[in-house]
């Protein structure tokens, strides 16, 4: 069992009321779990902006595989950065479109740069980088 500390928080009643509503809507059974998630989210953001350690994230890409050389260019860039691309999944969405999900890991700047490069490629129609982590660094 992890070492747990209890602490009290004072806040505006209205603010807490709103927070409790959101917690209920999202299915939290108690405030502690919701507050822990908020703090973890903030710490993951810190890891991504600190650029000191490693981060992990997923990049979703939707592209038209009939666009000239898009598949080759995407694969080429991933091989070039094989140390950053941990894993990938490919789904054939329909006759024209592919969905790819990449798990990226490394220094934030490197991960962001690769994601931006892939997202900007001609033929890539939609995508997003989801910055994630444990909140305890990697």
Residue number with CB closer to Ni ion (111 or 118): 118
Where are the alpha helices (H) located in the chain, listed in sequence order? 13-26, 31-50, 70-80, 108-119
The binding site for Ni ion (CB under 5 A) comprises 92, 98
Residue 2 CB, shortest distance to Ni ion, in Å, is 43
Residue number with CB closer to Ni ion (92 or 125): 92
Report the distance separating Cα 22 and Cα 24, nearest Å.
5
Residue 109 CB, shortest distance to Ni ion, in Å, is 30
> Which residue of this chain has its Cβ atom nearest to Ni ion in the complex?
98
Residue number with CB closer to Ni ion (35 or 99): 99
Looking up tokens 């939290």 gives 28
Six token digits for residue 16? 């807490």
Residue 80 CB, shortest distance to Ni ion, in Å, is 21
Report the distance separating Cα 49 and Cα 71, nearest Å.
31
């Amino acid at each position: 069992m992890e070492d747990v500390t209890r602490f009290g928080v004072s806040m505006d009643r209205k603010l807490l009321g709103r927070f409790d509503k959101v917690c209920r809507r999202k299915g939290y059974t108690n405030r502690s779990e919701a507050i822990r998630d908020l703090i973890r989210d903030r710490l993951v953001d810190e890891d991504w902006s600190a650029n000191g350690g490693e981060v992990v994230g997923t990049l979703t890409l939707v592209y038209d595989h009939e666009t000239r050389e898009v598949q080759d260019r995407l694969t080429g860039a991933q091989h070039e950065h094989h140390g950053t691309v941990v894993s990938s999944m490919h789904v054939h969405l329909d006759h024209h479109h592919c969905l790819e999900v990449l798990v990226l890991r490394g220094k934030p700047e490197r991960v962001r740069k690769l994601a931006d490069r892939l997202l900007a490629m001609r033929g890539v129609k939609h995508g997003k980088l989801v910055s994630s982590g444990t909140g305890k660094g990697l």
